Structure 1
């Protein structure tokens, strides 16, 4: 059963990519915005250990790139997920939330997953890589955090 999350405010979406799939996050990317408008990208690197410092970069994503991202993200609708197993082999958690759908590859899924098709793995990796590239391209300014 997918986890219950309150939908974002009217028309808003959130896309989040977290590395790695298991254990403490070392890298988090978040894109928040509305379709057909510019969005905000945050690219945060987490340092664990004695100093525990983190670095965050932010930037604006143009509306055309937001629309392309939303088009890519919606291709994952209906893809299987697994709460404890990295079924796509990409070592990332990918989450998105819109008014219509909330999905994550780390959601609880009550149906037994026997095997993920190679095409689904490729599609998932392509979307995850696109989110990562988008953050590298647009989130370049140091955050005030």
Structure 2
């Protein structure tokens, strides 16, 4: 699998990533064991980058991805997003980001998120506030890299 370097900080990801939406929502009924099998098969075929988000089952998709990747965690990168409420409204308030990131770490059963980014822009929160709270997680060692922000 070809690799791509993201940004200037050295995070390298597979050129093809696995979007985990369908493991918990979006495409009809899902089966946890089949999803785990599919995720692990993707890795066997060379996929090393896995993307999830809070809205992918409101935590259930992340738990499933965490289970599937646990045996190979040191061989993959995990990206996750924040910024949407359960009613699909934007919410990038600092306290919400803090809650979301801590919940993602717990749900995925990991110590560090490889790539964190904003799902959609939030016109009610200055981008400086969003970046500031994201940077807190980098300094704390909970997030390795920050992804592109949606500026609208």
TM-score normalised per structure 1: 0.23
Higher relative contact order (CA 8 A, sep 6+): 1
Structure with higher helix content:
2
Structure with higher strand content:
1
